[in-house]
Amino acid sequence: MIEINNLVKRYGDKKAVNGISFTVNDDEVLGFLGPNGAGKTTTMNIITGYLSSTSGTVKVNGHDILEEPELAKKEIGYLPENPPLYTDMTVNEYLDFICDLKGVAKSKRKQMLERIISLVKISDVTDRLIGNLSKGYKQRVGIAQAMVGDPSILILDEPTVGLDPSQIIEIRKLIKSLSKSHSIIISSHILSEIQEIADRVVIINHGKIAAVDSLTDLSKRLSGQTKLMLTVGAPAKECAAKIQTIHGISAAVPKIVNNKVSQIELTLVGENSTEIRSAIFFMMARENWPILEMRSLDPTLEEVFLNITAGKRRA
């Protein structure tokens, strides 16, 4: 767990970070977001111990990053935006070098590195020079070095930048698998990736916390309501009338998709504090009306991010 309390970083008269507080729970993926210049990189550098704060505290599994730096840093694996790779080394040589830097005992290295190499799926390139690897493999090697020493917390800064779509999917799967045994902070400008991976998001703007919550709850709070698109095989007027009797639904706007098979599309508006999907399912089942599609129309992470950082709303 990481506990950040009232963190401040000054550069002269400017506060790059201004009173930030949040926690990262065990086995949680936290998306750390903000526009350029918001203070993300400064905050991550303070968490990792690369920078000291002007005031405030960072505790990593109970160890203060300033008072007990060695114990705190042992719990952290860090992948910066530009992975710290030595391109004239092979992957094996590089990871062995990282073990030296992190003080990993030689008796433990072989088993640990075999496990990490297998997990990040780089076993087929361990004897190759890092400089000859693809961008995707270099990112994997970067993640592997962050895992050396078995830290409980991983901090990943732009882990998918510059990757093609297939490589992005591979790294996303890797991060999801790592989240089963690590707490992860991930910062990225590719918000769709954060939406796929993160359990919660922290959005900072102008050095301050602008929002902390799950994406679902942020979307509901910002929109003030729940919106669903429902496609169902049913007579339009009868279905629309029935569905509006469900508690929590304030509007059901039907659109006929196919007259011949009585297929309609309804835009449903509900109270954001009420779960309506289960009630819809059971009603459709009782009426023998098949649900062909049900999807959320709540704001995406991109819309939430732009709304918050533009100063329209504070969550």
pLDDT digits (tens, 9 = 90+) for 102-160: 999 999 999 999 999 998 889 999 999 999 999 889 999 999 999 999 999 999 998 88
- Is 230 within 8 Å of 280 (Cβ atoms)? yes
For 214-235, what is the mean pLDDT? 78
Please report which confidence band the pLDDT of residue 72 belongs to, taking 50, 70 and 90 as the band edges.
very high
Q: What percent of the chain has pLDDT over 90?
A: 48
Over residues 235-260, mean pLDDT: 82
Statement: residue 314 has pLDDT above 70? no
List Cβ neighbours of 80 (8 Å cut-off, separation of 6 or more). 157
Cβ-proximal residues to 40 (8 Å cutoff; 6+ apart), any chain: 32, 33, 34, 187, 204
Q: Are 252 and 244 in contact (CB under 8 A)?
A: yes
Q: In the predicted model, is pLDDT for residue 273 greater than 70? A: no
Exposed e or buried b per residue across 65-86, where buried means at least 16 C-beta atoms within 10 angstroms of its C-beta: beeeeeebbbbbbbbbeebebe
For residue 85, give both structure tokens. Answer: 């790779």
Q: What is the pTM of this model?
A: 0.77
The predicted structure's pLDDT at residue 10: 93
User: Rounded mean pLDDT of the chain?
Assistant: 87
State residue 315's pLDDT score. 44
Look up residue 95 and give its two tokens: 């990871």
Mean pLDDT of 196-225: 82
Res 213 pLDDT > 60: yes
pLDDT score, position 312: 46
pLDDT value of position 224 = 64
Lowest mean pLDDT among 204-213, 225-234, 254-263, 282-291: 254-263
Residue 112: what pLDDT? 94
With a cut of 90, say whether residue 3 has pLDDT above it. Answer: yes
**pLDDT, average across residues 220-232:** 77
Mean pLDDT confidence for 243-263: 78
Q: What is the mean pLDDT of residues 245-259?
A: 79
Please determine, for residue 259, whether its predicted confidence score (pLDDT) is greater than 70: no
Is 136:160 a contact under the CB 8 Å cutoff? no
| Length of the chain (residues) | 315
Q: What contacts 24+ positions apart, CB below 8 Å, involve 250-259?
A: 250/225, 257/231
Q: Do strands 76-79 and 153-157 pair parallel, antiparallel, or not at all (unpaired)?
A: parallel
Domains and CATH numbers, the chain: 2-219 (3.40.50.300), 222-298 (3.30.70.1340)
pLDDT at 61 exceeding the cut of 70? yes
Lowest-confidence region among 72-76, 87-91, 196-200, 254-258 = 254-258
Take residue 108 and report the two structure tokens written for it: 């433990």
| CA–CA separation, 187 and 81 (whole Å) | 9
The amino acid sitting at 25 is N
60 or 174, which is more confident: 60
d(CA 233, CA 257) in angstroms, rounded, equals: 10
Contact 314, 210 (CB under 8 A): yes
Tokens 């109270």 belong to 271
